[in-house]
Amino acid sequence: MTTLFSTKAARPALALLGLGVGLAGCQPNIDSNSPAPSAGSANFSRYIAVGNSLTAGYADNGLYLEGQQNSYPAILAAQFAQAGGGAFNQPLFTAAQASGSGYLRLSGFTAAGSPITTTVPGTAGRFTPTAAPYTKYLSRVDNLGVPGIQLSDIQTANLGNLAPLRNYAASNFNPYFERITPDGSSDTYFQRVKAEVAGTSGTPAATFFTCWLGNNDVLGYATAGGAVASSSITRTDTFNLKALRIVNALTAGGAKGVVSNIPDVTGIPFFTTVGAAARTNFAAASVPTAAPFVYTTGILSPAASNTRVATTLASIRDASGSGNLLLTLTASPYIGLYGQPTGKYWRDFYAQAKPGLPATIPTLGVFLTVLAVDTTKAFGQSSQNPFPSTLVLDATEQTAVATATTAYNTSLLNAANAKGLAFFDANSYFRSIAAGGTATNGVNNTADFIRGNLFSLDGVHPTPRGYALVANEIIKVINAKYGSTIAQVNGNDYRGVQLP
């Protein structure tokens, strides 16, 4: 028998075997499609964020630690850090005070599928001027997002100072601004921004900024159903003036940045959820769409005319978009009482309005008489027990909102262009989300309340994932404008609404 392998024949065999073993260990290497992060013509060494609740990381109807940690400026700063960005300090609540102002938490669903929320209590917060203040945060602040601030109020003195005594209102006192303002300082928000831009002994001058102010100038009016006198739409000329001032202040030292505009408030789940759900429930209960729906329009107050408008249920906008009346998220506890002889809304309204009522209206009974409300009549059906204006945004009010929003956005675009700044068209972005949603790595995200992943439990402010997608959009406009190559984040790494 011949030898098993002649040495001559064995050599190629062994070579092949060796090649094989070598190849087997080989993990393919894929070079990155994107270039290494770089700053382009921008400088991220000190980034400051100017804005309101959206900038502060407000979510679930409150400002709390987890929300702050997932604010879009925090996400941006982490990405900037890969391209020369420096430290980014936020006025975070401590771990012991992590619940911040308190916030909503989803505790379950009703049999009909409506969400049940409970409030996680906050640790302090000037809900009234006599309530305990927040613990001051006086260290370096790079995230100047102040929940509730309007562009029209950025030059109001003592915005963060209880003294001098006055009729406190959101327009002249802000507890979140108080939290980051030294005791006794009469500084306006504008002065604070200018100081941060210039830098102090402890902080460098700002080299980059994002500015997202102006939402509250129309949002307060809208979320109150256009029915609260003190929540009015800022005049366009005032808005334009303040917009130019803040952009000038931000660019005074040569910093570059991004200006963001105002989304359509009517595309957010705060306005799109309750009406659509109510129409579905009415249909399921065989309530005809021709059934009467009577609501008040304009300011709802004993001093106002409280004009009734009579229409039908078909006017309430349903899931497919037909109907021109929007119901607010706050209408949720009341719309189910349609057609019943109930005074629940009016009692709640009275309890809330009582401190400000004149002496001529000492009791609930007088209050109802002045409003011409008879709680023995069918709620929302009879002109004597109408659905209140605070819970309805009708066509007139929507037009006022839309007109103002368009004018504001023109001002903001002009201000950005005048200084050659990048511009994030949040209006278009949120409109596309409301129309069709956006997919992140195999997950569909929409503007639907709770299940859409993008909006938190207050129906207005985004979830961490929503803020991450906003950060990605801002990164795109920065890269386009300044030639930088900042990497985006994976939206799915940030949570949507977690379910009980």
Q: Measured between alpha carbons, how far is 368 from 352 in angstroms, rounded to an integer?
A: 14
Collect all residues with Cβ–Cβ distance below 8 Å to 427 and sequence separation of at least 6.
Answer: 261, 262, 263, 264, 405, 409
Position of tokens 């979320």? 223
How many CB atoms neighbour CB 253 within 10 A? 13
C-beta of 40 vs 302, nearer to other proteins: 40
CA–CA distances in Å: residue 102 to residues 64, 98, 118, 123, 488: 7, 9, 10, 7, 31
Angle between helices 395-418 and 216-223 (to 10 degrees): 170
What's the chain's length in residues? 500
Q: CA Rg, the chain, in Å?
A: 28
C-beta separation of 174 from 159 below 8 A? yes
Cα–Cα distance for residue pair 359/393, rounded to 1 Å: 31
What spatial distance separates the first Cα and last Cα of the chain, rounded to whole Å? 77
Neighbour-count burial of 33, counting CB atoms closer than 10 A to its CB (0-12 exposed, 13-18 middle, 19+ buried): exposed
**Residue 80 backbone phi and psi in degrees, to 5:** -60, -35
For residues 99 and 158, which CB has a smaller minimum distance to other proteins in the complex?
99
What's the closest the beta carbon of residue 445 comes to other proteins, in angstroms?
A: 9
- Least CB distance to other proteins at residue 4 (A): 8
The residue (of 9 and 163) whose beta carbon lies closer to other proteins is 9
Closer of 26 and 163 to other proteins (Cβ)? 26
Which of 254, 315, 292 lies closest to 382, judged by CA? 292
- Measured CA to CA, the distance from residue 441 to residue 426 in angstroms comes to 22
Is 222 or 478 the residue whose CB approaches other proteins more closely? 478
Q: Which H/E stretch holds residue 256?
A: strand 256-260
Question: What does the alpha-carbon distance between residue 64 and residue 66 come to, in Å, rounded to a whole number?
Answer: 6
Residue in this structure with the two tokens 């037009």, named with its chain if needed? 399
> Nearer Cβ to other proteins, position 128 or 441?
441
Question: Residue 12 or residue 321: which is nearer to other proteins going by CB?
Answer: 12
> How many other CB atoms are there within 10 angstroms of residue 354's CB atom?
13
Nearer to other proteins, 98 or 241 (CB): 98
Nearer to other proteins, 175 or 491 (CB): 491
Which tokens belong to 237? Answer: 């000329």
Min CB(66)–other proteins separation in Å: 12
Q: Choose between 116 and 195: whose C-beta lies nearer to other proteins.
A: 116
Q: Which residues bind other proteins (CB under 8 A)?
A: 2, 4-6, 9, 12-13, 16-17, 20, 23-24, 26-34, 105-106, 108-109, 113, 115, 439, 441-444, 446, 448, 450-453, 472, 487-492, 495-496, 498-500
CB of 439 to other proteins, least distance (A): 4
Tokens 């562009």: give the residue.
Answer: 151
Q: In this complex, which beta carbon is closest to other proteins, that of residue 150 or of residue 479?
A: 479
DSSP 17-82: HHHHHHHHT-------SSPPP--TT---SSEEEEESHHHHT-BTTB--HHHHHT-HHHHHHHHHGG
Q: Where are the alpha helices (DSSP H) in 267-343?
A: 269-284, 332-335
Least separation in angstroms between residue 457's CB and other proteins is 12
Of residues 294 and 457, the one with the C-beta less far from other proteins: 457
